[in-house]
Structure 1
Amino acid sequence: MHIKDRTFVVSGGASGLGLATAEELYANGGYVAILDMNPANGEKVIKQLGDRAKFFEVDVTESESLEAAVNGTVAWIKQTGKPMGGILPLAGVGLPAKLLDRDLNPVDMSRLNFVIDINLKGMLNTIRLLLPHMARNEPTTPDGERGVIVMVSSSAAFEGQVGQLSYAASKGAVRSMTLVLARDLAPNGIRAMSIAPSLFETAMSAALSEKVRQTLTKVTEFPKRLGNAKEFAGLARHCIENTYLNGECIRLDGGTRMPSKM
Protein backbone atom coordinates (compact mmCIF):
# COMPACT_ATOMS: atom_id res chain seq x y z
CA MET A 1 0.00 0.00 0.00
CA HIS A 2 1.22 3.48 -0.82
CA ILE A 3 1.31 5.87 2.14
CA LYS A 4 1.00 9.07 0.12
CA ASP A 5 -2.46 10.66 0.16
CA ARG A 6 -3.97 8.12 2.56
CA THR A 7 -5.04 8.72 6.14
CA PHE A 8 -3.50 6.76 9.01
CA VAL A 9 -5.03 6.76 12.48
CA VAL A 10 -2.39 6.55 15.22
CA SER A 11 -3.58 6.22 18.83
CA GLY A 12 -0.92 7.18 21.36
CA GLY A 13 0.55 9.28 18.55
CA ALA A 14 1.61 12.30 20.61
CA SER A 15 4.64 10.65 22.24
CA GLY A 16 7.07 7.75 22.13
CA LEU A 17 6.76 5.07 19.46
CA GLY A 18 3.40 6.46 18.33
CA LEU A 19 4.88 9.91 17.69
CA ALA A 20 7.83 8.49 15.75
CA THR A 21 5.41 6.48 13.62
CA ALA A 22 3.19 9.50 12.98
CA GLU A 23 6.25 11.49 11.90
CA GLU A 24 7.37 8.71 9.55
CA LEU A 25 3.96 8.45 7.89
CA TYR A 26 3.69 12.21 7.53
CA ALA A 27 7.19 12.45 6.03
CA ASN A 28 6.11 9.97 3.36
CA GLY A 29 3.08 11.92 2.26
CA GLY A 30 0.47 10.46 4.57
CA TYR A 31 -2.34 12.21 6.39
CA VAL A 32 -2.16 11.43 10.11
CA ALA A 33 -5.00 11.48 12.64
CA ILE A 34 -3.38 11.48 16.08
CA LEU A 35 -5.52 10.16 18.92
CA ASP A 36 -4.08 10.84 22.35
CA MET A 37 -5.20 11.87 25.84
CA ASN A 38 -2.59 14.63 26.18
CA PRO A 39 -3.91 17.74 24.38
CA ALA A 40 -0.78 19.82 25.09
CA ASN A 41 1.46 17.25 23.42
CA GLY A 42 -1.06 16.68 20.67
CA GLU A 43 -1.34 20.31 19.64
CA LYS A 44 2.45 20.67 19.78
CA VAL A 45 2.87 17.72 17.44
CA ILE A 46 0.32 19.09 14.98
CA LYS A 47 2.18 22.40 14.80
CA GLN A 48 5.44 20.59 14.18
CA LEU A 49 4.01 18.37 11.44
CA GLY A 50 1.67 20.57 9.43
CA ASP A 51 -1.76 20.66 7.82
CA ARG A 52 -1.83 16.95 6.90
CA ALA A 53 -2.07 16.10 10.61
CA LYS A 54 -5.06 16.41 12.92
CA PHE A 55 -5.27 15.86 16.69
CA PHE A 56 -8.22 14.32 18.53
CA GLU A 57 -8.23 14.15 22.31
CA VAL A 58 -9.34 10.72 23.49
CA ASP A 59 -9.34 8.30 26.40
CA VAL A 60 -9.31 4.86 24.76
CA THR A 61 -10.83 3.29 27.89
CA GLU A 62 -14.02 5.35 27.50
CA SER A 63 -16.25 4.35 24.59
CA GLU A 64 -17.95 7.76 24.32
CA SER A 65 -14.60 9.54 24.11
CA LEU A 66 -13.33 7.07 21.54
CA GLU A 67 -16.50 7.26 19.45
CA ALA A 68 -16.23 11.06 19.36
CA ALA A 69 -12.60 10.84 18.19
CA VAL A 70 -13.52 8.29 15.50
CA ASN A 71 -16.42 10.43 14.30
CA GLY A 72 -14.10 13.44 14.15
CA THR A 73 -11.53 11.46 12.19
CA VAL A 74 -14.13 10.24 9.69
CA ALA A 75 -15.42 13.81 9.22
CA TRP A 76 -11.85 14.99 8.57
CA ILE A 77 -11.34 12.21 6.01
CA LYS A 78 -14.50 13.29 4.19
CA GLN A 79 -13.20 16.85 4.22
CA THR A 80 -9.76 15.98 2.81
CA GLY A 81 -10.91 13.19 0.52
CA LYS A 82 -7.98 11.02 1.62
CA PRO A 83 -9.22 7.48 2.43
CA MET A 84 -8.31 5.60 5.59
CA GLY A 85 -5.29 3.48 4.76
CA GLY A 86 -4.25 2.21 8.15
CA ILE A 87 -5.17 1.82 11.80
CA LEU A 88 -2.24 1.89 14.23
CA PRO A 89 -3.46 1.51 17.83
CA LEU A 90 -0.18 2.19 19.64
CA ALA A 91 -1.40 3.59 22.97
CA GLY A 92 -0.06 1.53 25.85
CA VAL A 93 0.99 1.55 29.50
CA GLY A 94 2.77 -0.62 32.03
CA LEU A 95 2.18 -0.93 35.79
CA PRO A 96 4.31 -3.62 37.47
CA ALA A 97 2.60 -5.71 40.12
CA LYS A 98 2.82 -9.25 41.47
CA LEU A 99 -0.42 -11.08 42.20
CA LEU A 100 0.68 -11.52 45.83
CA ASP A 101 2.55 -9.02 47.96
CA ARG A 102 5.01 -9.92 50.73
CA ASP A 103 2.16 -10.38 53.19
CA LEU A 104 0.35 -12.70 50.75
CA ASN A 105 -2.36 -10.15 50.00
CA PRO A 106 -3.73 -10.18 46.45
CA VAL A 107 -3.03 -7.25 44.20
CA ASP A 108 -5.79 -4.69 43.84
CA MET A 109 -7.78 -5.53 40.71
CA SER A 110 -7.68 -1.88 39.64
CA ARG A 111 -3.95 -2.19 38.91
CA LEU A 112 -4.56 -5.11 36.56
CA ASN A 113 -7.57 -3.47 34.92
CA PHE A 114 -5.64 -0.25 34.28
CA VAL A 115 -3.16 -2.03 32.01
CA ILE A 116 -5.60 -4.42 30.33
CA ASP A 117 -8.20 -1.70 29.71
CA ILE A 118 -5.70 0.43 27.77
CA ASN A 119 -3.43 -2.13 26.14
CA LEU A 120 -6.08 -4.64 25.10
CA LYS A 121 -9.66 -3.41 25.46
CA GLY A 122 -8.79 0.10 24.26
CA MET A 123 -6.93 -1.33 21.27
CA LEU A 124 -9.77 -3.66 20.32
CA ASN A 125 -12.35 -0.93 20.65
CA THR A 126 -10.28 1.46 18.53
CA ILE A 127 -10.01 -1.14 15.78
CA ARG A 128 -13.68 -2.12 16.09
CA LEU A 129 -14.94 1.43 15.63
CA LEU A 130 -12.63 2.34 12.75
CA LEU A 131 -12.90 -0.87 10.71
CA PRO A 132 -16.31 -0.25 9.10
CA HIS A 133 -14.96 2.94 7.53
CA MET A 134 -11.87 1.18 6.18
CA ALA A 135 -13.84 -1.79 4.88
CA ARG A 136 -15.93 0.54 2.69
CA ASN A 137 -12.83 1.79 0.83
CA GLU A 138 -12.37 1.18 -2.85
CA PRO A 139 -9.53 -1.35 -3.34
CA THR A 140 -6.13 0.32 -3.56
CA THR A 141 -4.14 -2.45 -5.29
CA PRO A 142 -4.73 -5.14 -7.94
CA ASP A 143 -4.98 -7.60 -5.02
CA GLY A 144 -8.01 -5.73 -3.69
CA GLU A 145 -6.33 -4.31 -0.60
CA ARG A 146 -8.44 -1.82 1.34
CA GLY A 147 -6.25 -1.19 4.38
CA VAL A 148 -3.92 -2.47 7.06
CA ILE A 149 -3.82 -2.68 10.86
CA VAL A 150 -0.45 -2.44 12.63
CA MET A 151 -0.55 -3.13 16.38
CA VAL A 152 2.12 -3.03 19.08
CA SER A 153 2.85 -6.15 21.11
CA SER A 154 6.04 -6.54 23.17
CA SER A 155 8.95 -8.82 23.94
CA ALA A 156 6.96 -9.43 27.16
CA ALA A 157 4.54 -11.44 25.02
CA PHE A 158 7.36 -13.97 24.66
CA GLU A 159 9.38 -13.54 27.90
CA GLY A 160 7.34 -11.68 30.47
CA GLN A 161 9.30 -10.74 33.56
CA VAL A 162 8.49 -10.87 37.24
CA GLY A 163 5.73 -8.38 38.04
CA GLN A 164 4.62 -8.06 34.40
CA LEU A 165 1.60 -10.32 34.56
CA SER A 166 -1.05 -7.90 33.30
CA TYR A 167 1.33 -6.29 30.80
CA ALA A 168 2.49 -9.64 29.39
CA ALA A 169 -1.11 -10.87 29.26
CA SER A 170 -2.24 -7.82 27.29
CA LYS A 171 0.70 -7.91 24.88
CA GLY A 172 0.46 -11.68 24.50
CA ALA A 173 -3.18 -11.20 23.52
CA VAL A 174 -2.13 -8.76 20.81
CA ARG A 175 0.35 -11.30 19.47
CA SER A 176 -2.30 -14.03 19.48
CA MET A 177 -5.03 -12.00 17.83
CA THR A 178 -2.85 -10.83 14.92
CA LEU A 179 -3.47 -13.96 12.85
CA VAL A 180 -7.14 -14.08 13.85
CA LEU A 181 -7.64 -10.51 12.65
CA ALA A 182 -5.86 -11.32 9.39
CA ARG A 183 -8.16 -14.30 8.86
CA ASP A 184 -11.32 -12.47 9.87
CA LEU A 185 -10.60 -9.50 7.62
CA ALA A 186 -9.17 -11.30 4.60
CA PRO A 187 -12.53 -11.17 2.77
CA ASN A 188 -12.49 -7.41 3.25
CA GLY A 189 -9.00 -6.96 1.80
CA ILE A 190 -7.59 -5.77 5.13
CA ARG A 191 -4.27 -7.04 6.52
CA ALA A 192 -3.21 -7.25 10.18
CA MET A 193 0.31 -7.10 11.58
CA SER A 194 1.89 -6.52 14.98
CA ILE A 195 5.35 -5.52 16.14
CA ALA A 196 6.91 -6.80 19.38
CA PRO A 197 9.60 -4.34 20.48
CA SER A 198 11.94 -4.77 23.41
CA LEU A 199 12.74 -1.66 25.44
CA PHE A 200 13.17 1.47 23.33
CA GLU A 201 14.44 4.94 24.13
CA THR A 202 11.20 6.67 25.15
CA ALA A 203 9.99 8.75 28.09
CA MET A 204 8.99 5.50 29.82
CA SER A 205 12.45 3.94 29.53
CA ALA A 206 14.09 7.21 30.61
CA ALA A 207 12.83 6.50 34.12
CA LEU A 208 14.81 3.24 34.35
CA SER A 209 17.75 3.02 36.71
CA GLU A 210 21.26 2.75 35.33
CA LYS A 211 21.49 -0.79 36.73
CA VAL A 212 18.43 -1.90 34.77
CA ARG A 213 19.70 -0.24 31.58
CA GLN A 214 23.04 -2.03 31.91
CA THR A 215 21.30 -5.37 32.43
CA LEU A 216 19.18 -4.82 29.33
CA THR A 217 22.24 -3.91 27.30
CA LYS A 218 23.97 -7.12 28.38
CA VAL A 219 21.11 -9.37 27.26
CA THR A 220 20.84 -7.64 23.88
CA GLU A 221 22.88 -9.51 21.27
CA PHE A 222 23.50 -6.71 18.77
CA PRO A 223 23.50 -3.76 18.70
CA LYS A 224 24.27 -3.29 22.40
CA ARG A 225 21.72 -0.58 23.15
CA LEU A 226 18.03 0.14 23.58
CA GLY A 227 15.98 0.52 20.43
CA ASN A 228 15.46 3.82 18.66
CA ALA A 229 11.87 4.94 18.05
CA LYS A 230 12.69 5.64 14.40
CA GLU A 231 13.56 1.95 14.00
CA PHE A 232 10.07 1.02 15.20
CA ALA A 233 8.53 3.60 12.88
CA GLY A 234 10.52 2.23 9.95
CA LEU A 235 9.21 -1.27 10.54
CA ALA A 236 5.65 0.03 10.91
CA ARG A 237 6.06 1.75 7.55
CA HIS A 238 7.31 -1.48 5.97
CA CYS A 239 4.31 -3.38 7.37
CA ILE A 240 2.09 -0.87 5.61
CA GLU A 241 3.95 -0.85 2.29
CA ASN A 242 4.60 -4.59 1.90
CA THR A 243 1.27 -6.07 0.89
CA TYR A 244 2.41 -9.66 1.40
CA LEU A 245 3.05 -9.16 5.11
CA ASN A 246 -0.01 -10.43 6.93
CA GLY A 247 -0.99 -12.22 10.14
CA GLU A 248 2.44 -12.05 11.76
CA CYS A 249 3.96 -10.57 14.92
CA ILE A 250 7.51 -9.39 14.21
CA ARG A 251 10.05 -9.12 17.01
CA LEU A 252 12.12 -5.93 17.00
CA ASP A 253 14.65 -6.42 19.76
CA GLY A 254 18.26 -6.79 18.60
CA GLY A 255 18.13 -10.46 19.56
CA THR A 256 17.17 -9.66 23.16
CA ARG A 257 15.76 -12.48 25.29
CA MET A 258 14.56 -11.09 28.60
CA PRO A 259 15.67 -12.70 31.89
CA SER A 260 13.01 -13.41 34.50
CA LYS A 261 14.07 -10.33 36.46
CA MET A 262 16.66 -7.58 36.37
Structure 2
Amino acid sequence: MKIADRTFIISGGASGLALAAARDLHSAGAYVSLLDLNEDNGSKIASELGDRARFFETDVSDTESIASAIKGTIEWVSQTQKDLGGVIAGAGVGLPGLIIDKKNEPLSMSSIDFVLNINLRGTLDLIRQALPYMTKGTPDGPDGERGVIIMIASSAAFDGQMGQVAYAASKGAVASLTLPLARDLSKYGIRAVTIAPAMFDSAMTKMMSGKVKQSLTKAMEFPKRAGQPEEFAKLVRTSIENQMLNGTVLRLDGAMRMPARL
Protein backbone atom coordinates (compact mmCIF):
# COMPACT_ATOMS: atom_id res chain seq x y z
CA MET A 1 0.00 0.00 0.00
CA LYS A 2 1.19 3.49 -0.76
CA ILE A 3 2.26 5.57 2.22
CA ALA A 4 2.61 8.93 0.52
CA ASP A 5 -0.51 11.10 0.55
CA ARG A 6 -2.36 8.82 2.95
CA THR A 7 -3.37 9.76 6.51
CA PHE A 8 -2.38 7.57 9.45
CA ILE A 9 -3.83 7.81 12.95
CA ILE A 10 -1.12 7.05 15.52
CA SER A 11 -1.96 6.73 19.21
CA GLY A 12 0.87 7.28 21.65
CA GLY A 13 2.33 9.25 18.75
CA ALA A 14 4.14 11.88 20.80
CA SER A 15 6.78 9.56 22.26
CA GLY A 16 8.67 6.31 22.00
CA LEU A 17 8.13 3.71 19.32
CA ALA A 18 4.92 5.27 18.01
CA LEU A 19 6.70 8.60 17.51
CA ALA A 20 9.50 6.87 15.62
CA ALA A 21 6.90 5.28 13.34
CA ALA A 22 5.17 8.64 12.86
CA ARG A 23 8.43 10.34 11.89
CA ASP A 24 9.30 7.55 9.45
CA LEU A 25 5.89 7.58 7.77
CA HIS A 26 5.96 11.36 7.58
CA SER A 27 9.36 11.20 5.89
CA ALA A 28 7.76 8.90 3.31
CA GLY A 29 5.10 11.48 2.48
CA ALA A 30 2.33 10.46 4.87
CA TYR A 31 -0.02 12.72 6.78
CA VAL A 32 0.08 11.82 10.47
CA SER A 33 -2.60 12.37 13.11
CA LEU A 34 -0.86 12.13 16.48
CA LEU A 35 -2.99 11.11 19.47
CA ASP A 36 -1.40 11.41 22.90
CA LEU A 37 -2.01 12.66 26.43
CA ASN A 38 1.16 14.76 26.40
CA GLU A 39 -0.14 18.02 24.95
CA ASP A 40 3.13 19.94 25.19
CA ASN A 41 5.19 17.28 23.47
CA GLY A 42 2.49 16.48 20.92
CA SER A 43 1.94 20.09 19.90
CA LYS A 44 5.69 20.63 19.61
CA ILE A 45 6.15 17.59 17.37
CA ALA A 46 3.19 18.48 15.15
CA SER A 47 4.58 22.00 14.75
CA GLU A 48 8.00 20.57 13.90
CA LEU A 49 6.58 18.22 11.26
CA GLY A 50 4.51 20.97 9.65
CA ASP A 51 1.36 20.93 7.53
CA ARG A 52 1.25 17.15 7.17
CA ALA A 53 0.82 16.60 10.90
CA ARG A 54 -1.90 17.29 13.45
CA PHE A 55 -1.98 16.64 17.19
CA PHE A 56 -5.06 15.71 19.22
CA GLU A 57 -4.84 15.45 22.99
CA THR A 58 -6.32 12.01 23.65
CA ASP A 59 -6.87 9.63 26.53
CA VAL A 60 -7.31 6.24 24.87
CA SER A 61 -9.00 4.86 27.98
CA ASP A 62 -11.84 7.35 27.41
CA THR A 63 -14.27 6.67 24.56
CA GLU A 64 -15.34 10.29 24.18
CA SER A 65 -11.74 11.46 24.03
CA ILE A 66 -11.05 9.03 21.19
CA ALA A 67 -14.25 10.12 19.43
CA SER A 68 -13.13 13.75 19.56
CA ALA A 69 -9.73 12.88 18.09
CA ILE A 70 -11.29 10.80 15.32
CA LYS A 71 -13.72 13.61 14.52
CA GLY A 72 -10.88 16.12 14.33
CA THR A 73 -8.84 13.80 12.13
CA ILE A 74 -11.69 13.19 9.69
CA GLU A 75 -12.35 16.92 9.45
CA TRP A 76 -8.66 17.37 8.60
CA VAL A 77 -8.88 14.57 6.00
CA SER A 78 -11.85 16.32 4.39
CA GLN A 79 -9.68 19.42 4.01
CA THR A 80 -6.55 17.70 2.71
CA GLN A 81 -8.38 15.06 0.65
CA LYS A 82 -5.75 12.55 1.78
CA ASP A 83 -7.65 9.34 2.54
CA LEU A 84 -7.30 7.52 5.81
CA GLY A 85 -4.73 4.78 5.20
CA GLY A 86 -4.41 3.17 8.58
CA VAL A 87 -4.29 3.14 12.34
CA ILE A 88 -1.21 2.46 14.45
CA ALA A 89 -2.35 1.71 17.99
CA GLY A 90 0.83 2.61 19.82
CA ALA A 91 -0.42 3.86 23.19
CA GLY A 92 0.61 1.54 25.99
CA VAL A 93 1.69 1.32 29.62
CA GLY A 94 3.41 -1.15 31.88
CA LEU A 95 2.69 -1.33 35.62
CA PRO A 96 4.51 -4.28 37.24
CA GLY A 97 2.90 -6.06 40.16
CA LEU A 98 2.82 -9.61 41.51
CA ILE A 99 -0.66 -11.12 41.47
CA ILE A 100 -0.14 -11.81 45.19
CA ASP A 101 2.53 -9.89 47.11
CA LYS A 102 4.74 -10.73 50.09
CA LYS A 103 2.05 -9.51 52.48
CA ASN A 104 -0.44 -11.93 50.88
CA GLU A 105 -2.31 -9.03 49.31
CA PRO A 106 -3.71 -9.54 45.80
CA LEU A 107 -2.91 -7.15 42.99
CA SER A 108 -5.42 -4.30 43.08
CA MET A 109 -8.12 -4.14 40.45
CA SER A 110 -7.30 -0.47 39.92
CA SER A 111 -3.81 -1.50 38.82
CA ILE A 112 -5.16 -4.23 36.54
CA ASP A 113 -7.81 -1.93 35.07
CA PHE A 114 -5.24 0.80 34.39
CA VAL A 115 -3.14 -1.52 32.23
CA LEU A 116 -6.07 -3.25 30.47
CA ASN A 117 -7.94 -0.01 29.80
CA ILE A 118 -5.02 1.52 27.93
CA ASN A 119 -3.32 -1.47 26.32
CA LEU A 120 -6.38 -3.51 25.34
CA ARG A 121 -9.58 -1.50 25.65
CA GLY A 122 -7.91 1.61 24.25
CA THR A 123 -6.57 -0.32 21.27
CA LEU A 124 -9.95 -1.84 20.44
CA ASP A 125 -11.83 1.40 21.00
CA LEU A 126 -9.53 3.37 18.71
CA ILE A 127 -9.77 0.75 15.98
CA ARG A 128 -13.56 0.37 16.11
CA GLN A 129 -14.09 4.14 15.97
CA ALA A 130 -11.72 4.62 13.01
CA LEU A 131 -13.06 1.71 10.94
CA PRO A 132 -16.36 3.25 9.74
CA TYR A 133 -14.27 5.85 7.92
CA MET A 134 -11.67 3.40 6.61
CA THR A 135 -14.30 1.08 5.14
CA LYS A 136 -15.62 3.99 3.05
CA GLY A 137 -12.21 4.80 1.61
CA THR A 138 -11.43 4.46 -2.08
CA PRO A 139 -9.94 1.02 -2.86
CA ASP A 140 -6.35 1.29 -4.03
CA GLY A 141 -4.24 -0.86 -6.31
CA PRO A 142 -5.06 -4.15 -8.07
CA ASP A 143 -6.16 -5.79 -4.80
CA GLY A 144 -8.48 -2.97 -3.84
CA GLU A 145 -6.85 -2.29 -0.47
CA ARG A 146 -8.35 0.33 1.82
CA GLY A 147 -5.85 0.34 4.64
CA VAL A 148 -4.08 -1.43 7.46
CA ILE A 149 -4.42 -1.69 11.23
CA ILE A 150 -1.14 -2.07 13.10
CA MET A 151 -1.22 -3.02 16.78
CA ILE A 152 1.58 -3.27 19.33
CA ALA A 153 1.89 -6.35 21.52
CA SER A 154 5.10 -7.37 23.32
CA SER A 155 7.36 -10.34 23.82
CA ALA A 156 5.62 -10.48 27.22
CA ALA A 157 2.58 -11.80 25.37
CA PHE A 158 4.51 -15.05 24.95
CA ASP A 159 7.06 -15.20 27.78
CA GLY A 160 6.05 -12.65 30.37
CA GLN A 161 8.03 -12.42 33.58
CA MET A 162 6.99 -12.44 37.21
CA GLY A 163 5.00 -9.32 37.98
CA GLN A 164 3.68 -9.02 34.43
CA VAL A 165 0.32 -10.78 34.74
CA ALA A 166 -1.75 -7.69 33.84
CA TYR A 167 0.68 -6.49 31.18
CA ALA A 168 1.05 -9.93 29.59
CA ALA A 169 -2.72 -10.39 29.64
CA SER A 170 -3.22 -7.11 27.79
CA LYS A 171 -0.55 -7.82 25.19
CA GLY A 172 -1.50 -11.45 24.80
CA ALA A 173 -5.06 -10.37 24.06
CA VAL A 174 -3.85 -7.99 21.37
CA ALA A 175 -1.84 -10.80 19.78
CA SER A 176 -4.85 -13.14 19.94
CA LEU A 177 -7.28 -10.73 18.35
CA THR A 178 -5.07 -10.10 15.32
CA LEU A 179 -6.31 -12.97 13.16
CA PRO A 180 -10.06 -12.59 13.88
CA LEU A 181 -9.72 -8.86 13.26
CA ALA A 182 -8.10 -9.56 9.88
CA ARG A 183 -10.90 -11.97 9.07
CA ASP A 184 -13.58 -9.45 10.06
CA LEU A 185 -12.00 -6.80 7.83
CA SER A 186 -11.03 -8.92 4.82
CA LYS A 187 -14.15 -8.08 2.83
CA TYR A 188 -13.29 -4.39 3.12
CA GLY A 189 -9.72 -4.78 1.90
CA ILE A 190 -8.29 -3.80 5.31
CA ARG A 191 -5.41 -5.75 6.84
CA ALA A 192 -4.45 -6.28 10.50
CA VAL A 193 -0.89 -6.81 11.71
CA THR A 194 0.59 -6.88 15.21
CA ILE A 195 4.22 -6.20 16.10
CA ALA A 196 5.58 -7.74 19.31
CA PRO A 197 8.85 -6.04 20.30
CA ALA A 198 11.14 -7.11 23.12
CA MET A 199 13.23 -4.50 24.96
CA PHE A 200 13.50 -1.32 22.93
CA ASP A 201 14.79 2.09 23.92
CA SER A 202 11.59 3.87 24.92
CA ALA A 203 10.00 5.90 27.71
CA MET A 204 8.94 2.64 29.35
CA THR A 205 12.45 1.14 29.39
CA LYS A 206 13.98 4.42 30.59
CA MET A 207 12.15 3.82 33.88
CA MET A 208 13.96 0.50 34.38
CA SER A 209 16.91 0.32 36.75
CA GLY A 210 20.38 -0.39 35.41
CA LYS A 211 20.28 -3.82 37.06
CA VAL A 212 17.06 -4.75 35.27
CA LYS A 213 18.38 -3.55 31.92
CA GLN A 214 21.59 -5.51 32.41
CA SER A 215 19.67 -8.69 33.22
CA LEU A 216 17.48 -8.29 30.15
CA THR A 217 20.54 -7.70 27.97
CA LYS A 218 22.00 -11.02 29.18
CA ALA A 219 18.84 -12.77 27.95
CA MET A 220 19.38 -11.49 24.43
CA GLU A 221 20.97 -13.59 21.69
CA PHE A 222 21.96 -11.21 18.89
CA PRO A 223 22.26 -8.31 18.83
CA LYS A 224 22.99 -7.95 22.56
CA ARG A 225 21.38 -4.56 22.98
CA ALA A 226 18.04 -2.89 23.21
CA GLY A 227 16.26 -2.36 19.92
CA GLN A 228 16.26 1.12 18.46
CA PRO A 229 13.02 2.98 17.70
CA GLU A 230 14.09 3.34 14.07
CA GLU A 231 14.23 -0.46 13.74
CA PHE A 232 10.67 -0.68 14.99
CA ALA A 233 9.62 2.05 12.54
CA LYS A 234 11.10 0.07 9.64
CA LEU A 235 8.86 -2.89 10.45
CA VAL A 236 5.82 -0.62 10.66
CA ARG A 237 6.61 0.66 7.18
CA THR A 238 7.11 -2.88 5.86
CA SER A 239 3.80 -3.94 7.40
CA ILE A 240 2.06 -1.17 5.50
CA GLU A 241 3.79 -1.74 2.18
CA ASN A 242 3.75 -5.56 2.06
CA GLN A 243 0.17 -6.65 1.40
CA MET A 244 0.84 -10.30 2.21
CA LEU A 245 1.40 -9.37 5.84
CA ASN A 246 -2.04 -9.87 7.33
CA GLY A 247 -3.52 -11.56 10.39
CA THR A 248 -0.10 -12.22 11.86
CA VAL A 249 2.04 -11.29 14.86
CA LEU A 250 5.62 -10.32 14.06
CA ARG A 251 8.14 -10.77 16.88
CA LEU A 252 10.85 -8.12 16.83
CA ASP A 253 13.18 -9.36 19.54
CA GLY A 254 16.59 -10.49 18.29
CA ALA A 255 15.73 -14.06 19.39
CA MET A 256 15.33 -12.88 22.99
CA ARG A 257 13.24 -15.06 25.31
CA MET A 258 12.67 -13.45 28.69
CA PRO A 259 13.59 -15.48 31.78
CA ALA A 260 11.01 -16.06 34.50
CA ARG A 261 12.77 -13.61 36.81
CA LEU A 262 15.64 -11.16 36.66
Q: What do you get for the CA RMSD once the two structures are aligned?
A: 0.7
Mapped partners of 1:70, 1:3: distance in 2: 20
1:50-83 CA distance string (max 9 Å, x none): 1100000111111111111110011000010000
Aligned to 1:161: 161
Mapped partners of 1:100, 1:68: distance in 2: 38
Tell me if structure 1 keeps the 8 A contact 2:92–2:118. yes
Aligned to 2:59: 59
Mapped partners of 2:217, 2:64: distance in 1: 42
Shift of 1:114: 0.1
Shift of 1:203: 2.0
Shift of 1:98: 1.3
Residue 18 (str. 1) matches residue 18 (str. 2): yes
Aligned to 2:135: 135
Aligned to 1:202: 202
Q: Match for 1:90: what amino acid?
A: G
Tell me if structure 1 keeps the 8 A contact 2:197–2:253. yes
* Structure 1: stretches of 5+ with no match in the other structure: none
Q: In terms of mean alpha carbon deviation, does 204-213 or 117-126 score higher?
A: 204-213
Aligned to 1:29: 29
Residue 101 (str. 1) matches residue 112 (str. 2): no
Shift of 1:103: 1.8
SS in 2 for 1:151: strand
TM-score normalized with structure 2 length: 0.99
Aligned to 2:187: 187
Tell me if structure 1 keeps the 8 A contact 2:94–2:204. no
1:125-145 CA distance string (max 9 Å, x none): 000000010000111111111
SS in 2 for 1:225: coil
Tell me if structure 1 keeps the 8 A contact 2:70–2:129. yes
Tell me if structure 1 keeps the 8 A contact 2:35–2:57. yes
SS in 1 for 2:130: helix
Aligned to 1:257: 257
* Structure 2: stretches of 5+ with no match in the other structure: none
SS in 1 for 2:9: strand
Residue 213 (str. 1) matches residue 217 (str. 2): no
Write out the 4+ residue segments of structure 1 that deviate beyond 2 Å after TM superposition: none
SS in 1 for 2:203: coil
Mapped partners of 2:171, 2:204: distance in 1: 17
Aligned-pair identity in percent equals: 55
The alignment covers a number of residue pairs equal to 262
Q: Match for 1:72: what amino acid?
A: G
Mapped partners of 2:210, 2:87: distance in 1: 35
